[in-house]
Chain A
Amino acid sequence: MVRFGNVYKNYPNGTRALKGVDIRIDDGEFVFLVGPSGSGKSTVIKLITAEEKATNGKILVNGYNVTSLRSSQIPKLRRTLGVVFQDFRLIENKTVYENVAFAMRVIGASSRRIKQRVPVILELVGLAHKAKRFPHELSGGEMQRVSIARALINNPQVILADEPTGNLDPVRSKEIMMLLEKINELGTTVIVVTHERDIVNSFSKRVVALDGGKVVSDATGGYYQV
């Protein structure tokens, strides 16, 4: 569950990235967040994860009042979120298995629970057979699957993917989107930032379009216009 109420974000250098954004995303939704470069898409994601603080307005995420969240509460908020980046952000000297297990390990999970859950999630993203590989032995699409597995491992309520297919060819991109769709069908809310028109239009999902820091259209089953 994500709610933005009249949110403004000014960066310290004076850039006004968001100018009164209202968004409401309910549990179980799949939403594409689209818009031209610099329109504020990544800023929205960073405000959800509390990586940046809103200048004004109200943000609610999975029951957390993000705009007035104490810093000691931020880890709790983040455990309800799974984040996927364009550049995968895998740890080079850890195997696929270890990369995924690491995300569980560092929030204090026991080895027993890790051993139970990691294979299940690797199976879900279709990488069970590459558990012992290192990131440099994988294709881009496979690396992104690992990063999705890592985002999923702590059973988040919302997956946030900022241009997850930006580094992939169209076929791999389609596969990744289908994987995210499958995860959404299993009950997780999914928010995907992208500016790949063809992909958005080939799925019939809700599309929220930003431009110049404002929501310019929000249509379920909509298309990537502009």
Chain B
Amino acid sequence: MKGYNTVYFLKEGVKSIFQRGFMSFAAVTVIIACLLISGSFALVAYNVNELIAEAEQQNELLAFVDETLSDTEALGLAGSIYAVSNVKSAEFVSADQAFVDYSEELGDDADLLEGLDGDALRHRYRILVNDLEQTEQTAEELEQIQGIAKVRYSYELADGIVTMRNIVNVITWLIGALLLVVSVFMISNTVKLATFDRREEIAIMKMVGATNMFIRWPFIVQGFLLGMMGGLVAFFAQWGIYTYAGKIILQYAPVFELIPFGSIAITMLVAFLVVGFIVGVLGGVTTIRRFMRV
């Protein structure tokens, strides 16, 4: 494409934006709102996923070994444990070691140890799973193993977090898809108005032999610019909102520390601009296809 044509398309695209300034403003605002809503949900989902990853690290199962087994036999159970499909890792902890760990952990409250049940005297395996959702089933399978007396795990934590993640993920995708459609619709309407404003110019362009692409480019550029503007503004707004939300959360629920925005800023910017680009160009292209038979 020749350079002066590109300049022409840009100029005409910008002109169309200002010709219907209010409509353009509305379209960009809607895109920003859409991106912010989906972006916020995506950020929540991302943080929840990180929480889960962390929980997965901590959410171990304890498989207690039957005390009738010898130490060698207890160590030999590792093979059977690893044979359970969902098991990621299994670490043998002797009863003595466990006792030491407990006392260290409890420190001054060491006298609590006196109240410990019989499990305290058993060897055990600390087991991590791949998929938290199948924790319950995995525990049952582990209990089937000859020599494992009992399996303990905090089921509720696992189940609650996973449900929450699934809900947030579904909501994120649903809202994202819905708002994408709304955004395309807004751009499409703005571009439609521009083709209406320029119907006489378009008629003359066709008459003197302008190619279809030449006629269409300014409208594609218009959609593109609107989309990119939306993406860019939304990014900075999202940045502000996220940082602010982080402060509030830190104030009221210091256990939940948000992932710092800096570590996801580039991904977020690229995502917003790509969505802006797609929404803009899609809005432009669908409109001229439907309303400008050239």
Interface residues of A (CB under 8 A from B): 49, 72, 74-79, 81, 83, 89, 91, 102-103, 105-108, 110-111, 150, 154
Contacts and interface: CB of A to CB of B under 8 A. Distances in A.
Interface in B195-225: 200-201, 203-212, 214-215
Which DSSP category, helix, strand, loop or mixed, fits chain B's interface?
helix
A153 to B, nearest CB: 8
A75 B201 contact: no
B43 to A, nearest CB: 46
A133 B210 CA distance: 25
Given A77-B209, A154-B209, A110 B200 contact: no
Given A79-B209, A154-B209, A103 B8 contact: no
A78 B208 contact: yes
A107 B207 contact: no
Interface of B: 2, 4-5, 8, 200-201, 203-212, 214-215
A91 B203 CA distance: 11
Contact of B200 (A76, A78, A91): A91
B209 A150 contact: no
Contacts of A107: 208-211, 214
A103 B204 contact: yes
A220 B252 CA distance: 97
Contacts of B215: 106
Contacts of A81: 209
A107 B206 CA distance: 10
A106 B200 contact: no
A106 B4 contact: no
Closest 6 CB pairs of A and B: A78-B209, A79-B209, A106-B210, A75-B209, A103-B208, A106-B205
Q: Looking at B200, B209, B210, B214, which has the most chain A CB atoms within 10 Å of its CB? A: B209
B6 to A, nearest CB: 11
5 contacts: A79-B208, A91-B200, A106-B210, A107-B208, A108-B5
Given A108-B5, A108-B214, A111-B4, A91 B209 contact: no
Contacts of B210: 75, 106-107
Given A79-B209, A106-B214, 19 more contacts: A49-B207, A78-B206, A79-B208, A83-B207, A89-B200, A91-B200, A91-B201, A105-B8, A106-B215, A107-B208, A107-B210, A107-B211, A107-B214, A108-B214, A110-B2, A110-B4, A150-B208, A154-B208, A154-B209
Nearest to B3: A110
A78 B210 CA distance: 9
A103 B4 CA distance: 15
Contacts of B8: 105
Nearest to A105: B8
Contacts of A75: 209-212
Contacts of B203: 89
Nearest to B205: A106
Nearest to A80: B209
A150 B203 CA distance: 14
Contact of B201 (A83, A102, A110, A154): A102
Q: Looking at B203, B210, B212, which has the most chain A CB atoms within 10 Å of its CB? A: B210
Contacts of B200: 89, 91
A102 B204 contact: yes
Contacts of B5: 108
Q: Looking at A102, A108, A150, which has the most chain B CB atoms within 10 Å of its CB? A: A108
A91 B198 CA distance: 9
B4 to A, nearest CB: 6
Contacts of A150: 204, 208
A89 B206 CA distance: 13
A78 B207 contact: yes
A79 B2 CA distance: 19
Contacts of A89: 200, 203-204
A157 B212 CA distance: 22
A74 B203 CA distance: 14
Nearest to B198: A91
Contacts of B201: 91, 102
B183 to A, nearest CB: 30
Q: Looking at A81, A89, A102, A106, which has the most chain B CB atoms within 10 Å of its CB? A: A106
Contacts of A102: 201, 204
A107 B5 CA distance: 10
Contacts of A111: 4
A108 B209 contact: no
A184 B214 CA distance: 31
B161 to A, nearest CB: 58
A105 B207 CA distance: 13
